[in-house]
């Protein structure tokens, strides 16, 4: 978030004009929330075709999940965890390169970038755990709420 707001402040200072329509930050954030199903789909596409991957919403909650009990090599597991950052990085780049006068577009992209970079933080925690507790040739697998190392 600090990086995003620093970029917005920097762009505003360089352009000497307000570059964002504040209400559209909220609209972009809401769009980013709707893209959470795509976030989970991005987790799922890393698994091979024979893996049983379920993507959906947890009943009674506003939490989306991608569930798969299938071992992935450590590097592929890390890719699976971090791939949804694309939903934050792409709008952030669009925000950075778009003209200052495109305030609505900038607001939408800024809001989507915020949601797209905040939502994968549990996945970052998983990556840090895997890097700390596994070797390069290990496989990693989720089962229910736990993560397992397969040597």
| Tens-place pLDDT, residues 69-107 | 889 999 999 999 999 999 999 999 999 999 999 999 999
Q: Per-residue pLDDT for 6 more than 90?
A: yes
| Tens-place pLDDT, residues 114-123 | 999 999 998 9
Domain ranges of the chain: 2-68+86-119
| Alpha-carbon gap, residue 82 to 63, rounded angstroms | 18
* E-assigned strand segments in 32-92: 53-57, 64-68, 72-73
Q: Per-residue pLDDT for 55 more than 90?
A: no
* E-assigned strand segments in the chain: 53-57, 64-68, 72-73, 139-143, 146-150
Q: pTM for this structure?
A: 0.86
Share of the chain above pLDDT 90, in %: 73
Q: Per-residue pLDDT for 26 more than 90?
A: yes
Q: Bigger pLDDT: 55 or 73?
A: 73
Task: Give the mean pLDDT of the chain.
Answer: 91
Q: Per-residue pLDDT for 46 more than 90?
A: yes
Q: Could you tell me which residues come within 8 angstroms of residue 64 by beta carbon, excluding any fewer than 6 positions away?
A: 36, 37, 39, 40, 55, 56, 57, 58
Q: Model confidence at 52, in pLDDT bands (50, 70, 90)?
A: confident
Give the residues across from 140 on adjacent strands: 72, 149
E strand or H helix that includes residue 100: none
Residue 98 has a pLDDT of 97
Residue 59 has a pLDDT of 76
Residue 100 has a pLDDT of 95
């Amino acid at each position: 978030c600090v990086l995003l707001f620093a970029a917005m402040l920097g762009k505003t200072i360089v352009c000497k004009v307000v570059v964002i329509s504040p209400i559209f930050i909220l609209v972009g954030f809401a769009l980013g929330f709707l893209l959470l199903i795509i976030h989970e789909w991005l987790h799922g596409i890393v698994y091979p075709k024979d893996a049983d991957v379920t993507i959906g919403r947890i009943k009674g909650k506003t939490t989306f999940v991608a569930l798969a009990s299938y071992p992935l090599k450590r590097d592929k597991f890390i890719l699976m965890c971090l791939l949804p950052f694309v939903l934050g990085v792409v709008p952030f780049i669009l925000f950075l390169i778009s003209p200052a006068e495109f305030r609505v577009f900038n607001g939408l992209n800024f809001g989507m970038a915020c949601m797209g970079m905040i939502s994968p933080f549990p996945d970052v925690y998983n990556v840090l755990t895997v890097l700390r507790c596994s070797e390069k040739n290990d496989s990693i697998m989720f089962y229910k709420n736990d993560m397992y190392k397969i040597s």
